[in-house]
């Protein structure tokens, strides 16, 4: 117990100043009793980007059953698992909490399938890929805004350790030894997921908790929705049967994996599972890809996601004409009031026009209206922030008369 205490993200850590570094100093209150990571945590959960996670797909799109997992429940599960592990190992639980609640803030509408559509668009029009870990960093660095004590909108301006945990969290991994890197890098150097190890042990814990959280939760949801038969021989063989002749459930598997990780991990060896636990995780993951994520039941919705996102993107893209772009969008408000009025508001937050003092904006300016690629990025960021529900509302507005 507390085996990692001497390596935790605390003031005694030689990397502490790097961990708590922000792009600019954060405003202070005389009566604030929170530490740096606690301030990050509250800044994240008070953001609109975090709130929108409750209406974003985890695996199953637009479920009528309220008990099917959405993105907000997933990040809550990751927070719970990473807190348990970090607390047992003696790491900084405030840092793990902050990374966990923010780690998926860069997910677009429609989950990973929506992410693929946006990446295809980005490659075609901008020459880059779109992936949610990088977009998460972009979101907390540049897009998401909070009102300060003087009622000006500013960027979240999180600590380096939390920002690193967001872009480093890729859970689609099979290696059985995770250790933090030693180098303090510019996080914008990332070119693809899982390119670098996280900078802190706490971020490593979130990375592995992300994987623990969903492998059996997705099975439970698939059973509830009738995609899987809980009595099938294949599922019973995978999860075994306990002494009461009942299928081992999600909580049992999570507890087993958490205990196994805590028992087998050391600062010298890294965070790792026993061979039995790792094999179990990999078997469940392979089963999920075969029986859930590749299910024929999911394919119609995947085609629908592509249609919705492309129609929104192409309509907005068609309005670009340099300095006439705003006029073009305003001329479409009568036909598409929700889309155009909301997108204009979004543009004013990040473009180099408008009186920023009057608009109460102190965030970064990202775009110039005379640069076409800036406009395409702006559309992508706007769509990426949408919930499933809002994207569908906009699509329906486009196709209805």
Q: Residue 249: pLDDT above 90? A: no
> What's residue 172's pLDDT?
58
Question: pLDDT band at residue 171, thresholds of 50, 70 and 90?
Answer: low
Least confident of 92-101, 119-128, 248-257, 353-362: 248-257
Average pLDDT, the chain: 93
At 232 the pLDDT is 86
How far is 127 from 322, CA to CA, in rounded Å?
20
pLDDT interval class at 141 (50, 70, 90): very high
Q: Report residue 147: phi and psi, to 5°.
A: -80, 130
- Mean pLDDT, range 175-201, rounded to an integer: 93
| pLDDT higher than threshold 80 for residue 277 | yes
Class level of CATH domain 5-105+144-294: mainly alpha
Q: What b-and-e string marks burial along 271-294, b requiring 16 or more CB atoms within 10 Å of the CB?
A: bbbeeebbebbeebbebbeebbee
**For 371-377, what is the mean pLDDT?**
98
The residue-averaged pLDDT of 305-311 equals: 98
Instruction: List the domain boundaries for the chain.
Output: 5-105+144-294, 298-399
Contact partners, residue 187, CB within 8 Å, separation at least 6? 137, 160, 163, 164, 167
**Structure confidence at residue 244 as a pLDDT band (50, 70, 90):** low
Mean per-residue pLDDT for 382-399?
97
Its sign, for the CA torsion 146, 147, 148, 152, is positive
pLDDT over threshold 90, residue 60: no
- Per-residue pLDDT tens digits for 115-134: 999 999 999 999 999 999 99
pLDDT surpasses 80 at 102 = yes
* Interval 315-347: pLDDT, tens: 999 999 999 999 999 999 999 999 999 999 999
pLDDT exceeds cutoff 60 at 17: yes
pLDDT at 26 over 90: no
Q: What is the tens place of the pLDDT at every residue in 148-158?
A: 888 999 999 99
């Amino acid at each position: 117990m507390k085996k990692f205490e001497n390596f935790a993200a605390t003031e005694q850590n030689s990397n502490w100043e790097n961990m708590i570094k922000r792009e600019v100093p954060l405003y202070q209150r005389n009566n604030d009793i929170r530490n740096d990571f606690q301030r990050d945590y509250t800044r994240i959960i008070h953001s609109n980007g975090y709130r929108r996670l409750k209406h974003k797909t985890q695996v199953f799109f637009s479920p009528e059953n309220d008990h099917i997992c959405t993105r907000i429940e997933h990040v809550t599960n990751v927070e719970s698992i990473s807190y348990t592990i970090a607390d047992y190992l003696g790491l900084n639980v405030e840092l793990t909490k902050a990374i966990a609640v923010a780690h998926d803030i860069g997910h677009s509408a429609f989950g990973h399938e929506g992410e693929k559509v946006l990446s295809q668009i980005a490659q075609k029009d901008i020459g880059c890929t779109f992936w949610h870990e990088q977009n998460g960093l972009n979101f907390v660095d540049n897009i998401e805004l909070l009102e300060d004590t003087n009622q000006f909108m500013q960027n979240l301006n999180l600590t380096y350790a939390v920002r690193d945990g967001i872009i480093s969290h890729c859970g689609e991994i099979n290696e059985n030894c995770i250790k933090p890197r030693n180098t303090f890098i510019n996080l914008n150097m990332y070119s693809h997921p899982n390119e670098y190890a996280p900078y802190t042990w706490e971020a490593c814990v979130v990375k592995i908790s992300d994987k623990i959280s969903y492998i059996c939760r997705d099975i439970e949801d698939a059973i509830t929705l009738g995609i899987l038969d809980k009595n099938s021989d294949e599922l019973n063989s995978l999860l075994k049967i306990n002494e009461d002749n009942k299928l081992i459930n999600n909580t049992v598997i999570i507890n087993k994996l958490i205990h196994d990780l805590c028992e087998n991990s050391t600062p010298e060896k890294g965070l790792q599972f026993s061979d039995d636990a790792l094999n179990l995780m990999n078997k469940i993951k392979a089963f999920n890809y075969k029986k859930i994520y590749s299910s024929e039941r999911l394919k119609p919705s995947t085609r629908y996601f592509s249609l919705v996102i492309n129609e929104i993107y192409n309509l907005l893209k068609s309005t670009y004409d340099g300095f006439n772009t705003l006029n073009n969008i305003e001329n479409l408000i009568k036909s598409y009031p929700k889309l155009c009025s909301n997108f204009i508001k979004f543009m004013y937050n990040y473009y180099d026009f408008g009186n920023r003092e009057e608009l109460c904006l102190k965030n970064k300016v990202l775009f110039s209206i005379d640069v076409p690629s800036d406009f395409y990025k702006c559309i992508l960021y706007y769509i990426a922030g949408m919930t499933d529900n809002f994207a569908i509302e906009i699509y329906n507005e486009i196709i209805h008369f």
